[in-house]
Amino acid sequence: MSQTMTAPAGQRRRERRFGIFSLLVLAIMLGVFATSARGEQATFVLNDARGQLFELPNLVVTVVPAVLVLSAVVAVIAYRQFTTGFGSKAVIVVGVVALLFVMAFLTWAAAGGQLSVVGLLRGSLARATPIALGGLAGVVCERAGVINIAIEGQFLAGAFTAAVVSSLASDPWIGLLGGIGAGVLVAFMLAGLTIRFKADQIVVGVVLIVFATGVTSFLNTQVLSGNPELNSPTRFTAIAIPVLSEIPLIGPVLFRQSMLVFGMLFAVGALHYALFKTRWGLRLRSVGEHPKAADTVGINVLATRYKAVLLGGVFAGIGGAWWTLDAVGQFSREMTGGRGFIALAAMLVGRYSPVGAFGAALIFGFSDQIATSLQLLRVPVPSDLLLTAPYLVTILVVAGLMGRLRPPAANGKPYTKE
């Protein structure tokens, strides 16, 4: 009956698995970070170059003792994971271990150099933006019972169209509308094929990804490369919110970002509220859980699903526009690099909730940003390997920590009346 009730035996096994994870982490911390640092001290810069209310001191850490202290904490946690266990807090504890590992890693990476904490966090939030928006697209579709794996395709279509429209109109807002339109168009194809014609949702999703990839790559080579004026979109610039943006550390991270980042934060809150507090959300979720029950109380199941998928297209279109209107400022072939799939992972890790998906997107955004930040520090790790970090983190998080997931009961099942 209750999904959260786990058998003690299963619970013990799970905790032991987490314990093994902690031991692995510990081995890397002691074997690599504590022994091969390139300098004695690591400096974490907490200030931003731009104006702020007051200056913070730099955080200077002596590498080896710091790593040893962090390792000791992990060792204590691992011991408890193997003995008494943490019960209901087991997953949170794993998160703590991961956090300690990241701290040790950053200390080691920044040894003998300087790491800008502001840059790291600010970049993480920015890079989490498309992933969170893609996650919202997934959440709103799947809560209504339609599996949307085509987010990657919506991203590419959105990125491409936003670039071209913004180039033509010289206005990022109109470009954004173009991106939304492209996302909705892909969503419309998904909705039409799966809801109206009841085609397999996974197959249609794959087809749409291939379709969007092919079309954007083709147009990129055939049209954009010969007409660079079509691929020089006007971008959104960072907006600094007065006063708030001058708070040290928090200000530049949260209050000096582009409109798309602010829009994403608003969308996360708004969708979460709408899904769980409003009539619209109750009806949408009933359609994803038990469409026949919804039908018998007079809710139009198919229309609800259509609208949900199209709304998902709006979110995914904005997410796609982030690449060309915010981050890069130019469309290039397959530039989204599988972030649409990571957005799906964010939706799953976030357990089909907008706020949860946002939290997971932050983890993925952080791992994305870390790869870039560390390249600048010239860490002795091949840069290609560093760039795989977001994907590795995705695999680890999805496979290791997610635990049992309970998707909407009618997710992926076409609804037929008779």
Q: Which positions touch another protein (CB under 8 A)?
A: 1-2, 5, 7-9, 274, 277-280, 282-283, 285-286, 289-290, 292-299, 409, 417-418
Residue closer to another protein by CB (options 286, 324) is 286
Q: Is the CB of 270 or the CB of 376 nearer to another protein?
A: 270
Residue 364 CB, shortest distance to another protein, in Å, is 27
**Interacting residues of 333 by C-beta distance below 8 A, sequence separation 6+:** 216, 217, 220, 221
| H/E segment holding residue 76 | helix 63-82
Alpha carbon distances (Å) from 397 to 273, 291, 394: 26, 31, 5
Contact (CB, 8 A) for 159 and 335: yes
Considering the complex, what minimum distance in angstroms separates the CB of residue 343 from another protein?
A: 24
Look up residue 212 and give its two tokens.
Answer: 């969007």
What residue ranges in 108-189 does DSSP mark as E strands? 114-116
If phi > 0 it is left, if psi is from -120 to 50 it is alpha, else beta; for residue 413 that is beta
Q: Which is nearer to another protein, 279 or 404 (CB)?
A: 279
**CB of residue 16 vs another protein: minimum separation in angstroms?**
17
Least distance to another protein, CB of residue 311, Å: 14
Measured CA to CA, the distance from residue 319 to residue 83 in angstroms comes to 45
Q: Closer to another protein at the Cβ: 25 or 294?
A: 294
Sheet holding 114-116, edge to edge: 59-62, 41-45, 114-116
Q: Are 102 and 28 in contact (CB under 8 A)?
A: no
- CB nearer to another protein: pick between 225 and 300: 300
**Positive or negative: CA dihedral 292, 297, 298, 300:** negative
Cβ at position 144, least distance to another protein in Å: 13
By beta-carbon proximity to another protein, the closer residue of 28 and 274 is 274
Closest approach of another protein to the CB of residue 306, in Å: 17
- Nearer of residues 261 and 294 to another protein, judged by Cβ: 294
Beta carbon of residue 115, minimum distance to another protein (angstroms, whole number): 43
Q: Which is nearer to another protein, 145 or 252 (CB)?
A: 145
Residue 193: CA atoms inside 13 Å, Cβ hemisphere, count? 19
Transcribe 190-257 into DSSP letters.
Answer: HHIIIIIS---HHHHHHHHHHHHHHHHHHHIIIIITT-GGGG-PPPPPEEEPTTGGGSTTHHHHHSEE
